[in-house]
């Protein structure tokens, strides 16, 4: 039986943790280093001393990021590996054996690297994820506002569509500052609200103003405003990065009209044209459920050159944890629930959820058909996968997305069902007769 040939003869395996790293080189004892910056520099000098050109290390939390950047800057090729791929292989009893096993597998080319985008995309990813975290924290303080108002029996949140909108924020600020007159508080609302439901707004603002609940409302307002400031700072950093990256790029000959972003729109001047420069004029934001905000987040997660990392749309959907999970062994065919986390997949899921109640989109019709057949969760995942596939096609092939509408989709489903019925009737020696 022929033996495996070494593809990476001058390589090393690295196991990295919070307090120490272990470096395994063939025919050498395992070397241990600390995790301070000087220790990382000593480890890189050790690798160069042994003429190491490539290393493999597991993606352990966030500990790998700094060392990964330093190794790249030193000219060493780094293969970042998902630890689950080699988790159950024999011979791994400690961190020392771990790095030796990684080195051996990498020398034979048996490790599959994780997706690591370019430096600009990594910077953009840091800012967008931080912005998303601030939005999540701000939303929790909106819930605190609701609770404080409810405890004072102020029901303005039942009258206004958003208590954190312009009218609601003015009302809550006035309450914190000492205003108690319902008429005066109602006068802070927009005229469009007062024209249709002034009496309801006034009635909702008659409450039991207790000092402890007003204090809780004040705390929630201050925290919400703080996170809004943080979000604005993130937008400035994103805008500066986009400006530096797209200033030298040519403007596409044709730029589509941007969609309106309903909630939490980034405060970035001319965001749509900047994104179009990055995508060479391909516009996935026209896909139902997506916008410039979601396109910015997706570019931060996947980059713009999708085909360089995923050869087909199926590979892309699988990486985004949106592919059907089927496990078959022999004659047994069992489905297992596997928890997979993917930020890009979560963005596609949110897009699917946002169109689930639409009455005009073909994708929403697909969602409802899947929901009737297999339930809500299956429908959301299937619709998210369909959006991801369309996104891949737009980004890689430049295919423009056109919303055909729900009627055309229903007509295609009807034609498909008729073809199946005719085929079934023919196999049974029958004939379909229209009524």
Q: Which residues of 373-410 are buried (b: 16+ CB within 10 A; e: fewer)?
A: eeeeeebbbbbbbbbbbbbbbbbbeeeebeeeebeebe
Identify any residues that bridge with 375 across adjacent strands, giving them in sequence order.
none
Task: Give domain status of residue 227, yes or no.
Answer: yes
Q: Name the residue among 415, 391, 388 with its Cα closest to residue 401.
A: 391
Instruction: In whole angstroms, give the CA distance from residue 389 to residue 294.
Output: 15
Of 107, 142, 166, the one marking the end of a domain is: 107
Q: Do 142 and 72 fall into the same domain?
A: no
**Phi, psi for 150 (deg, rounded to 5):** -65, -40
C-alpha 379: how far from its chain's center? Answer: 19
How would residue 127 be classed by pLDDT, with cut points 50, 70 and 90?
very high
Task: Give domain status of residue 373, yes or no.
Answer: yes
Q: Do 266 and 378 fall into the same domain?
A: yes
Q: Do 38 and 131 fall into the same domain?
A: no
Identify the CATH number of the domain in which residue 48 sits. Answer: 3.30.420.140
Burial zone of 29 (CB within 10 Å; 0-12 exposed, 13-18 middle, 19+ buried): exposed
- Residue-wise pLDDT for 27-37, tens only, equals 899 999 999 99
Q: What is the pLDDT of residue 401?
A: 79
Q: Do 389 and 270 fall into the same domain?
A: yes
- Residue-wise pLDDT for 312-366, tens only, equals 999 999 999 998 876 665 666 665 555 567 899 999 999 999 998 888 888 888 8
The range of the structural domain enclosing residue 19 comes to 11-107
Maximum alpha-carbon separation in the chain: 90
Between 371 and 9, the more confident residue is 371
How would residue 44 be classed by pLDDT, with cut points 50, 70 and 90?
very high
148-162, 208-222, 327-341: range with lowest mean pLDDT:
327-341
What are the CA-CA distances from residue 196 to residues 131, 158, 200, 378 (Å)?
Answer: 36, 15, 9, 41
Contacts 24+ apart (CB under 8 A), 398-404: 398/280, 398/281, 398/282, 400/283, 400/286, 401/283, 401/284, 401/286, 401/287, 401/288, 403/288, 403/361, 403/362, 404/362
Task: Give domain status of residue 320, yes or no.
Answer: yes
123-132, 161-170, 235-244, 333-342: range with lowest mean pLDDT:
333-342
Asked whether residue 269 carries a pLDDT value surpassing 90, the answer given is yes
Q: Name the residue among 290, 265, 259 with its Cα closest to residue 352.
A: 290
Of 207, 238, 269, the one marking the end of a domain is: 238
Share of the chain above pLDDT 90, in %: 63
Q: Do 227 and 262 fall into the same domain?
A: no
Q: Do 388 and 301 fall into the same domain?
A: yes
Asked whether residue 219 carries a pLDDT value surpassing 50, the answer given is yes
Identify the CATH number of the domain in which residue 205 sits. Answer: 1.10.287
Burial zone of 209 (CB within 10 Å; 0-12 exposed, 13-18 middle, 19+ buried): middle
Q: Do 302 and 368 fall into the same domain?
A: yes
Q: Do 71 and 144 fall into the same domain?
A: no
Helix (H, G, I), strand (E, B) or coil at 157: helix
Q: How many domains does the chain have?
A: 3
Q: Name the residue among 420, 400, 414, 316 with its Cα closest to residue 365.
A: 414
> CB–CB of 316/310 below 8 Å?
yes
Average of pLDDT values for 42-68?
Answer: 93
Q: Do 273 and 369 fall into the same domain?
A: yes
Q: Do 300 and 181 fall into the same domain?
A: no
Average of pLDDT values for 195-223?
Answer: 94
**Phi, psi for 161 (deg, rounded to 5):** -70, -30
Task: Give domain status of residue 134, yes or no.
Answer: yes
Q: What is the pLDDT of residue 302?
A: 95
Of 85, 107, 129, the one marking the end of a domain is: 107
Angle between helices 166-176 and 211-246 (to 10 degrees): 140
Identify any residues that bridge with 77 across adjacent strands, giving them in sequence order.
54
Task: Give domain status of residue 425, yes or no.
Answer: no
Q: Do 293 and 365 fall into the same domain?
A: yes
Q: Do 297 and 364 fall into the same domain?
A: yes
Q: What is the pLDDT of residue 328?
A: 62
Task: Give domain status of residue 39, yes or no.
Answer: yes
Instruction: In whole angstroms, give the CA distance from residue 381 to residue 383.
Output: 6
Instruction: In whole angstroms, give the CA distance from residue 303 to residue 309.
Output: 10
Q: What is the pLDDT of residue 332?
A: 63
Instruction: In whole angstroms, give the CA distance from residue 57 to residue 71.
Output: 11
Which contiguous run of DSSP H or E holds residue 353? helix 343-354
Task: Give domain status of residue 184, yes or no.
Answer: yes
> CB–CB of 295/351 below 8 Å?
no
Task: Give domain status of residue 419, yes or no.
Answer: no
Average of pLDDT values for 213-231?
Answer: 97
């Amino acid at each position: 039986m022929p033996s495996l040939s070494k593809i990476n003869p001058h390589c090393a395996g690295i196991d990295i943790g919070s307090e120490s790293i272990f470096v395994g080189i063939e025919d050498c004892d395992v070397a241990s280093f600390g995790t301070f910056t000087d220790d990382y520099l000593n480890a890189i000098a050790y690798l160069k001393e042994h003429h190491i050109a490539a290393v493999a290390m597991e993606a352990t939390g966030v500990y790998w990021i700094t060392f990964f950047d330093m190794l790249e800057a030193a000219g060493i090729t780094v293969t970042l590996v998902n630890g689950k791929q080699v988790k159950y292989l024999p011979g791994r009893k400690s961190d020392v054996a771990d790095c030796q096993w990684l080195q051996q597998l990498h020398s034979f080319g048996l490790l599959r690297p994780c997706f690591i985008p370019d430096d600009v995309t990594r910077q953009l990813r840091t800012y967008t994820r931080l912005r998303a975290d601030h939005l999540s924290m701000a939303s929790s303080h909106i819930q605190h506002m609701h609770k404080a108002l409810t405890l004072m029996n102020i029901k303005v949140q039942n009258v206004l569509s958003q208590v954190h909108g312009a009218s609601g924020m003015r009302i809550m600020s006035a309450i914190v500052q000492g205003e108690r007159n319902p008429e005066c508080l109602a006068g802070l609302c927009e005229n469009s609200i007062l024209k249709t439901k002034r009496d309801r707004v006034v009635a909702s603002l008659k409450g039991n103003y207790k000092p402890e609940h007003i204090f809780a409302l004040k705390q929630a307002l201050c925290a919400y405003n703080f996170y809004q400031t943080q979000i604005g700072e993130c937008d400035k950093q994103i805008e500066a990065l986009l400006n530096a990256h797209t200033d030298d790029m040519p403007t596409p000959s044709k730029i589509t009209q941007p969609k309106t972003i309903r909630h939490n729109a980034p405060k970035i001047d001319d965001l749509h044209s900047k994104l179009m420069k990055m995508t060479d004029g391909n516009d996935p934001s026209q896909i139902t459920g997506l916008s410039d905000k979601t396109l910015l987040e997706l570019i931060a997660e996947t980059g713009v050159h999708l085909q360089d990392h995923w050869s087909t749309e199926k590979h892309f959907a699988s990486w985004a944890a949106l592919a059907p999970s089927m496990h078959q062994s022999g004659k047994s065919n069992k489905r297992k629930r596997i928890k997979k986390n993917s930020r890009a997949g979560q963005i596609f899921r949110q897009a699917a959820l946002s169109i689930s109640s639409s009455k005009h989109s073909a994708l929403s019709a697909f969602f409802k058909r899947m929901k009737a057949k297999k339930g809500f969760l299956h429908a959301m995942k299937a619709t998210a996968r369909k959006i991801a596939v369309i996104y891949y096609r737009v980004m890689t092939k430049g295919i423009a997305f056109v919303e055909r509408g729900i009627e055309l989709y229903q007509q295609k489903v009807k034609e498909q069902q008729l073809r199946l019925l005719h085929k079934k009737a023919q196999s049974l020696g029958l004939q379909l007769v229209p009524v």
